[in-house]
Structure 1
Amino acid sequence: MLTVLENCRISPPPATVGHRSLPLTYFDLLFLLHFPINQLFFYEFPHSRQHFMETIIPNLKHSLSITLQHFFPFTSNLIVFHNPDHSRKPEIRHVEGDSVRLTIAECNLDFNDLAGYHPRACDKFYELVPPLGPAVKGSDFLAIPLFAVQVTVFENTGISIGITNHHVLCDASTKYEFLKAWTSIARNGTDESFLANQSLPAYERLVEYHESLDRMFMNQPGVESLKLEYQPRELVGPSFKTRATLILIKEKISLIKRWVSIQLPALGYVSSFSVVCAYVWSCVAKSRAEVEEMSGPDELERFVCLADFRSRMDPPLPQTYFGNCVGPCVAIAKSTLLSGNDGFLIAVESVGQAISKTVKTKDGVLKEAELWFEMLFRLPEQIPAKIGVAGTPKLKIYDVDFGWGKPKKYETISIDCNGSISVNTSKDSSADLEIGLSLPAKQMDAFIDIFNKGLENSFS
């Protein structure tokens, strides 16, 4: 279904970056073993492959090169040293000549089907996002690629742009700043507009140093093997899952929020994000109960979302701070309660309290930092199910316009890896929210039915 037209490497313009390194903070080290993040943008493009190759590709190569000059970590490697005592932490390192892998391809699948909202087989998307590529062994370190791009043309129909990054590189906020810069340069041909209207990345490590957190996250199970080899989890088919996207419009969200405020007047945190996540969480639990046998009344589920801590640090960090600066908000509830008649109320109370506890704590956002790894990645036996959230409505993902229009559709492909959902503003209105899901086919059918019936029959 996919024909590779060109494999190439894109570097910043010569002598614009040189040899540079970026230390990792505990925010970055937390994600050392996280699977790569895969994102996919679909754009309508009713032109031939020849037109695509002659006009689009040269501009994307040129604009990516200039963008990498300002965002050098994207063209760098994660350097993991072999020292057994962790005396040298991993770092992001750029040397002159480093480059980003860019794949140009053609696909014969149905573009409009892939860019739809209905359930589609997950493995149809896997060849549209690039792997990071192999790690390179040095004398005393392992160099792991951090970023890759794939541009795929669908003859006379559309284009997809797939990007893959190691989570150590950055969080969603930093990546969005990179995409804003790249698209601005692609539209204008130079970086003049970007430099005039946007702030450059803040590379200074402004996060207060905490040796105990660094040591703890460097001692994660699996880090030792990371020093010897790197085998990231890859998206491979066939998959038994399907992916679909559902939309909650502003008016319905407002109705749900008012209903929650009446039912739970003492709940201190009620936002569009919290009620939408809670509603989806309860619908996922109900759909699972419908297609699977529940293991018992004491089975628990965990819901995790990430909060941006830049403005919540003391002192606050600039919004352009480069890297990771997020921490987990964790809600836990019994599966039997989530799948029951009051499942949504259970979920919305749990999610609201979890977010409020994390972002409004008087003791600072680092109060429970020593528990972050366990919150994010370790599932105790009594909590076999976890739902995470990729994306954030605070970032206008449908503004990623390279010059031929806004995306027809956006997908977070890597939610297939761990049962997460994606939550973003919708294409048509920043007040509406899109929810992306990846579920077994039978459960997806049950989920959509439960989701729609719940909206029709509740919250009045």
Structure 2
Amino acid sequence: MEKHEESFKVVQVCNVEPYLDTTKPFSSPTSLPLTFFDLLWLRFPPVELLFFYELTNSTTFFYDTLLPNLKHSLSLTLQHFLPLAGNITWPSDSSKPIINYVKGDNSISFNVVESKESFKDLSSHHCEASKRHHLIPHLKISHEKASLLAIQVTLFPNNGFCIGITTHHAALDGKSLSTFMKSWSYVACSNSKHDSSFLSLPETLTPFFDRSLIQDHNNGIGISDAYVVDLMKQGGPNNRSLKIMNFSGPVKHDVVKSLFELTPSNIQKLKEHGKNDMKMKVINLSTFLVTSAYILACLAKAEQPKVEKVVFIISMDCRSRLDPSISTMYIGNCIAGQKIVFETKNLVGKNGFLNALEGINKALNSVKDVGVLNGAENWVSNMYSGFEGAFSLGESRNNNGGIEIGLALNKEELEAFSTIFVEGLESI
């Protein structure tokens, strides 16, 4: 990051609070419990996302019109997402950490930066990870207190701007963060037309925070209680610290953050290939299933692991899988990891995609039989044993039903993956 310090300058450092009517009392609840789904991620690194937008308007337009709208619409959006302006604390009289969002201590860090770096290079599908570090905001995290959300807007004069957002993993999963960002976008677009102190959200964006519907037991065992015991042993004994643990392992140099896309036609080809050639016949192959299987097979072939077995963990949205199910607009963590063990030779061979597809499909089907919370009391101890890599999946920016895949690989691995990714689709 040091070599970029002269190429950017901090313009504004401020906090954005939820817009509240000061003539009325603050009647909202002031705390929110963390469920076992949240506690699982308490000491995991924050989630960092960057959104790039082209902007041909003048710098004056950005500061006079666009930036004030971003800040005011964020304040309006936080009316609906009050807990996100709070902090995680672990009160001495509480057996578990909680989210506090009391008036006077409920705001989001919002910084504005100008950069002389190349907007085109930084927003490209393939960019060295180190070049983007100065675009990412940092959460305030100490042993006693952890903020949940931080935002940085970086202007590239006459080219575009970037919104960097960092979230505490114990507060939001991917679905929740997507709901928040879509809500902010909706309010920003509406506010530009109708300047208002309150904007209601459509039903498809209205957040749901009720934790009472998540049953905290599995085979008679209190899952949260089991997690707290495990968490307090990490760096313990009796460790109630909220500091993030280091899961990064050895430093990898020359890492390039890359974005690949599967178009709707690519996805359809993978589904047809799976239906026609899988030994285990499946009528409906989901986009998530075929995408995960294809990327796993491509990664295995690119990296050529020097081990006999590869462990793959998939994240499953549990909102519809719980009994009873909860709202798709639930804000918090509601994901479970399913561990799958593959023989390396089955992934790197000719039928790597099909073998990955069958393995993941079998694992997902087993969840239906034993329940999504089977073995949940052991998730913390399993998760904190560490991991070596990951990839992310998201909706295509083109809003066409495609999928974007985020990866961080060194240059050699990236070149190999790119070739395998393209040639694999062409050969189907």
Same fold (TM > 0.5): yes
AA matched with 2:167: N
Give how far 1:130 is off.
Answer: 0.4
Query: For the Cα contact (< 8 Å) 1:18–1:95, is it kept in 2?
Result: no
1:276-306 CA distances to partner (integer Å, 9 max, x unpaired)? 21111111111112xxxx534x2x2122221
Query: For the Cα contact (< 8 Å) 2:43–2:243, is it kept in 1?
Result: no
Distance 1:443 1:196, change over 3 A: closer
Give how far 1:45 is off.
Answer: 0.9
Give the corresponding residue for 2:4.
none
Instruction: Indicate yes or no: 2:306 matched with 1:295.
Output: yes
Q: Give, in whole Å, the separation in 2 of the partners of 1:272 and 1:131.
A: 33
AA matched with 2:364: I
Give how far 1:43 is off.
Answer: 0.6
AA matched with 1:315: P
Distance 1:229 1:250, change over 3 A: closer
Give the corresponding residue for 1:421.
391
Instruction: Indicate yes or no: 2:212 matched with 1:205.
Output: yes
Instruction: Indicate yes or no: 2:345 matched with 1:332.
Output: no
Percent identity of equivalent pairs: 32
Q: Give, in whole Å, the separation in 2 of the partners of 1:182 and 1:17.
A: 23
Q: Give, in whole Å, the separation in 2 of the partners of 1:276 and 1:55.
A: 40
Give the corresponding residue for 1:55.
65
Gapped regions of structure 2 (runs ≥ 5): 1-6
Q: Give, in whole Å, the separation in 2 of the partners of 1:207 and 1:194.
A: 24
2:121 alignment partner, one of 113, 136, 139: 113
Instruction: Indicate yes or no: 2:26 matched with 1:42.
Output: no
Greater shift in the superposed pair: 190-199 or 418-427: 190-199
Gapped regions of structure 1 (runs ≥ 5): 380-385, 387-417
Query: For the Cα contact (< 8 Å) 1:147–1:166, is it kept in 2?
Result: yes
Distance 1:375 1:228, change over 3 A: closer
1:253-282 CA distances to partner (integer Å, 9 max, x unpaired)? 222222222221424463222112111111
1:104 alignment partner, one of 109, 112, 116: 112
1:261 alignment partner, one of 275, 279, 285: 275
Q: Give, in whole Å, the separation in 1 of the partners of 2:84 and 2:52.
A: 22
Give the corresponding residue for 2:234.
222
Give the corresponding residue for 2:416.
446
Query: For the Cα contact (< 8 Å) 2:204–2:329, is it kept in 1?
Result: no
Give how far 1:207 is off.
Answer: 0.7
Give how far 1:450 is off.
Answer: 1.4
Give how far 1:6 is off.
Answer: 0.8
Query: For the Cα contact (< 8 Å) 2:45–2:245, is it kept in 1?
Result: yes
Q: Give, in whole Å, the separation in 1 of the partners of 2:342 and 2:211.
A: 40
Give the corresponding residue for 1:278.
293
Q: Give, in whole Å, the separation in 1 of the partners of 2:262 and 2:423.
A: 13
Q: Residue 175 of structure 1 aligns to a residue in which SS?
A: helix
Q: Give, in whole Å, the separation in 1 of the partners of 2:184 and 2:100.
A: 21
Query: For the Cα contact (< 8 Å) 1:123–1:239, is it kept in 2?
Result: no
Query: For the Cα contact (< 8 Å) 1:304–1:376, is it kept in 2?
Result: no
Instruction: Give the 5 Å matches for 1:4-403.
Output: 4-14=10-20, 16=26, 20-82=30-92, 88-98=95-105, 99-117=107-125, 119-135=126-142, 142-189=144-191, 190=196, 191-194=198-201, 198-210=205-217, 212-218=222-228, 219-220=230-231, 221-222=233-234, 224=236, 227-228=240-241, 230-231=243-244, 239-268=253-282, 270-289=285-304, 294-296=305-307, 298=308, 300-358=309-367, 360-361=368-369, 363-378=370-385
Q: Residue 353 of structure 1 aligns to a residue in which SS?
A: helix
Give the corresponding residue for 2:3.
none
1:329-386 CA distances to partner (integer Å, 9 max, x unpaired)? 222212233122222222111112122222x23x43212212433554425xxxxxx5
State the TM-score, normalized to the length of structure 2: 0.87
Query: For the Cα contact (< 8 Å) 2:213–2:326, is it kept in 1?
Result: yes
Distance 1:265 1:177, change over 3 A: same
Query: For the Cα contact (< 8 Å) 2:32–2:100, is it kept in 1?
Result: yes
AA matched with 1:114: L
Give how far 1:112 is off.
Answer: 1.6
Query: For the Cα contact (< 8 Å) 1:184–1:193, is it kept in 2?
Result: no
Q: Give, in whole Å, the separation in 1 of the partners of 2:311 and 2:423.
A: 24
Give how far 1:317 is off.
Answer: 1.1
1:90-114 CA distances to partner (integer Å, 9 max, x unpaired)? 0001111121111100111111222
Q: Give, in whole Å, the separation in 2 of the partners of 1:204 and 1:249.
A: 37
Aligned residues: 403
Q: Give, in whole Å, the separation in 2 of the partners of 1:194 and 1:229.
A: 33
State the TM-score, normalized to the length of structure 1: 0.81
Distance 1:226 1:65, change over 3 A: farther
Q: Residue 148 of structure 1 aligns to a residue in which SS?
A: strand
Query: For the Cα contact (< 8 Å) 1:44–1:157, is it kept in 2?
Result: yes
Give the corresponding residue for 1:401.
none
Query: For the Cα contact (< 8 Å) 1:248–1:433, is it kept in 2?
Result: yes
Cα RMSD for the two superposed structures: 2.5
Distance 1:19 1:427, change over 3 A: closer
Query: For the Cα contact (< 8 Å) 1:120–1:243, is it kept in 2?
Result: yes
Query: For the Cα contact (< 8 Å) 1:81–1:227, is it kept in 2?
Result: no
Q: Give, in whole Å, the separation in 2 of the partners of 1:177 and 1:196.
A: 11
Q: Give, in whole Å, the separation in 1 of the partners of 2:161 and 2:252.
A: 23
Distance 1:425 1:199, change over 3 A: closer
